Amino acid sequence: MKTEFDYGREYAQDQRNRPGNRPVDIDQMITGSRDIPDGDYAEMRASGIENPDPRKYWEGYNSIF
């Protein structure tokens, strides 16, 4: 089963080649109005992750950079 970390990592892989993408400030991301992109949040919920952890998601994202 995929984890929040895995979803964040996949998102970063998709975004990596776009200009301006770089590691994010995790604390800033989790306090924002959209702490996890909507599509990934819905997919995580559908896969059985009841309360997706945004910190783990963005740690996965940052692991690519």
End-to-end CA distance of the chain: 24
Residues contacting 4, CB < 8 A, separation 6+ = 36, 44, 49, 52, 53, 54, 56, 57, 60
Per domain, the residue ranges of the chain are 4-62
Whole-angstrom Cα distance, residue 59 to residue 38? 17
Collect contacts of 38-42 with beta carbons under 8 A, ≥24 apart: 40/7, 40/8, 40/11
pLDDT value, residue 3: 98
Model pLDDT for residues 5-51, shown as the tens digit of each residue: 999 999 999 998 899 889 999 999 999 877 999 999 999 999 999 99
